[in-house]
Amino acid sequence: MSGAHEQKAPLGVAAIGYAFMGKAHSQAWRNVAAYFDVPAVEQRVLVGRDSEQVAEAAARYGWAESATDWREVIARDDVQIVDICAPGWLHAEIAIAALEAGKHVLVEKPLANSMAESERMVAAAQAARARGVQSMVGFNYRRVPALAFAKQLIADGRLGAVREVRASYLQDWLADEDSPMTWRLRKETAGSGALGDIASHAIDQVQFLLGDTVTEVSGRLHTFVGQRPGPSGVEDVTVDDAAWATLSLAGGAVASVEVSRVALGRKNSLRIEVYGSAGALTFDLERLNELEFLDGAVPVAEQGFRRIVVTEPEHPYVGAWWPQGHVIGWEHTFTHQIRDFLLAIRDGAAPSPSFEEGLQVQRVLAAVEESAAAKSTIVQL
Ligand SMILES: NC(=O)c1ccc[n+]([C@@H]2O[C@H](COP(=O)([O-])OP(=O)(O)OC[C@H]3O[C@@H](n4cnc5c(N)ncnc54)[C@H](O)[C@@H]3O)[C@@H](O)[C@H]2O)c1
């Protein structure tokens, strides 16, 4: 095995993209070593298209340098990690080139915009893994302490056999029909709409929490606002505003998924409810420090959902932060993600979610589209 395993010098990081996710990942790279015992890293270079703007962002977010050509950056000897915070249409091209250049890759979700791209990325990840080069996809909500704890409770059998999951992810930033066109509203750049953007998170959670795999899908997509103002006049929206799906899992559970970017009043509400034969759980990302747990072993007359404030040192990730009850935020999930990625690199182990797990989510997304195009016919995976 070569590379990072024996590496003593700091790992050089390059991030591609400096807007929303670039900013979120930058704060995680900046603070991860202050809170967690991880290999040393250096924020070497931030990449964007506009040299002035990316230079300003690099200075603000703690990067030593900025650049405008990601191909030159991934070829650099002082870069060992490439963090892809660019839109989906660039994921496959950058990730495959970076893996082939021997760089560990963290790529934002969803893995890519299509099955074909995702499959090529998995092939590149497998070849790289054989050379000790790691890869991971950024389903950061796996690193919300309450959800990581929920997974433990389910794995420990506290819910008994899981029967049903309700996963909804509702936002309202597109509720205004005058909201302008962006890359997220064009099929050629985003792949899909709310489906790939946020149902990908919900589907990943269903499979992550249950440790199970979706086998059957029925889906529906809808676009409520068909045209929006673009830079040169009115443009057609070519992706969904909202998506619905029912999923069968190999272990026998059934899940419903409902996502929208036009659900007025819902800001970033990823809600998960899990019902088992011996207990139940509910979670809402807008209250991410809390998990509600109903223990079916309690006498019925005393049963009810208990609110657990997931800030004890015993809870996943939390011991590194503040004393009990001193809550953490959305941005901490990215620090936890990078912590786990760095530990995997240190240990020469494959991090999770792997590109294979990203591909499995992609299969479900593709099946929702296929089903939706055929009047919600059930599609087998
Ligand atoms: N995990 C999460 O919670 C979460 C949240 C939002 C977005 N995302 C994902 O993150 C990715 C990026 O989304 P975003 O919201 O940050 O988008 P954004 O539009 O805010 O930022 C995209 C960035 O990519 C850069 N970019 C575009 N083309 C480039 C090129 N050729 N070379 C270098 N840089 C280039 C842009 O300059 C910009 O800085 C997407 O895959 C998205 O699905 C994840």
Distance 86 CA to ligand 1 centre (A): 4
Best residue among 18, 20, 49 to mutate for probing ligand 1, ranked by most atoms within 8 Å of CB: 20
pLDDT value, residue 8: 74
pLDDT value, residue 263: 98
pLDDT of 1 above 60: no
Residue 67 and residue 187 in one domain:
no
In a domain, 352, yes or no: no
Residue 111 and residue 190 in one domain:
no
In angstroms, the CA 106 to CA 14 distance is 10
Distance 196 CA to ligand 1 centre (A): 14
In a domain, 378, yes or no: no
Residue 53 and residue 170 in one domain:
no
Token output for 32: 């991860």
Q: For residues 212-227, give the mean pLDDT.
A: 98
Distance 22 CA to ligand 1 centre (A): 7
Distances (CA, A) of 32 to 251, 333, 336: 36, 11, 8
CATH number at residue 310: 3.30.360.10
Q: Is 232 exposed, middle or buried (0-12, 13-18, 19+ CB in 10 A)?
A: exposed
Residue that the structure tokens 């055929």 belong to: 374
Task: For residue 197, give the DSSP letter.
Answer: I
Residue positions counted in the chain? 381
Name the domain boundary from 141, 163, 197: 141
Which pLDDT band, with edges at 50, 70 and 90, does 6 fall under? low
Amino acid at 312: E
Number of domains making up the chain: 2
- Global confidence as pTM: 0.97
In a domain, 303, yes or no: yes
Q: Which atom of ligand 1 is closest in space to residue 197's alpha carbon?
A: 43
pLDDT value, residue 71: 98
Task: For residue 211, give the DSSP letter.
Answer: T
Average pLDDT, the chain: 97
In angstroms, the CA 266 to CA 279 distance is 27
Residues 325-343 have pLDDT tens digits of 999 999 999 999 999 999 9
Residue 170 and residue 116 in one domain:
no
Q: Which of 4-13, 83-92, 153-162 has the lowest mean pLDDT?
A: 4-13
In a domain, 339, yes or no: no
In a domain, 381, yes or no: no
Distance 251 CA to ligand 1 centre (A): 35
pLDDT of 3 above 60: no
Which pLDDT band, with edges at 50, 70 and 90, does 2 fall under? very low
Residue 62 and residue 203 in one domain:
no
pLDDT value, residue 191: 96
Best residue among 108, 139, 182, 330 to mutate for probing ligand 1, ranked by most atoms within 8 Å of CB: 108
Token output for 184: 């997220």
- 245's enclosing H/E stretch is strand 242-249
Q: For residues 153-171, give the mean pLDDT.
A: 98
Q: For residues 367-376, give the mean pLDDT.
A: 98
Name the domain boundary from 141, 171, 201: 141
Looking at the chain, list the stretches that DSSP marks H as alpha helix, in order from N- to C-terminal side: 20-35, 51-61, 70-74, 91-100, 115-129, 145-155, 187-190, 194, 200-210, 332-347, 355-373
CB 67, CB 45: distance < 8 Å = yes
In a domain, 334, yes or no: no
Residue 96 and residue 155 in one domain:
no
SS3 76: coil
Residue 180 and residue 317 in one domain:
yes
197 C-beta neighbours (distance < 10 Å), count = 22
Atom 25 in ligand 1: residue holding the nearest Cα: 17
Atom 36 in ligand 1: residue holding the nearest Cα: 17
Residues 75-91 have pLDDT tens digits of 999 999 999 999 999 99
Residue 137 and residue 149 in one domain:
no
Atom 23 in ligand 1: residue holding the nearest Cα: 17
pLDDT value, residue 245: 98
**Maximum Cα interatomic distance, the chain, rounded to a whole number of Å:** 66
Residue 35 and residue 176 in one domain:
no
pLDDT value, residue 157: 98
In angstroms, the CA 58 to CA 52 distance is 10
CATH number at residue 22: 3.40.50.720
pLDDT of 129 above 90: yes
329 C-beta neighbours (distance < 10 Å), count = 8
In a domain, 333, yes or no: no
Residues 311-329 have pLDDT tens digits of 999 999 999 999 999 999 9
Task: For residue 196, give the DSSP letter.
Answer: I
Q: Is 157 exposed, middle or buried (0-12, 13-18, 19+ CB in 10 A)?
A: exposed
Which domain, by its residues, includes 161?
145-287+289-328+361-373
Name the domain boundary from 141, 169, 189: 141
Q: For residues 221-244, give the mean pLDDT.
A: 97
Q: Which atom of ligand 1 is closest in space to residue 107's alpha carbon?
A: 41
Residue 110 and residue 194 in one domain:
no
Best residue among 25, 74, 85 to mutate for probing ligand 1, ranked by most atoms within 8 Å of CB: 85
Q: For residues 229-240, give the mean pLDDT.
A: 96
Rounded-to-5 percentages of helix, strand, coil across the chain: 40, 25, 35
Percent of the chain with pLDDT over 70: 98
Percent of the chain with pLDDT over 90: 98
Ligand 1 proximal residues by C-beta, below 6 Å? 16-22, 47-49, 70, 85-88, 90, 108-109, 138, 140, 197
pLDDT of 5 above 60: no
Residue 100 and residue 192 in one domain:
no
In a domain, 107, yes or no: yes
Residue 130 and residue 170 in one domain:
no
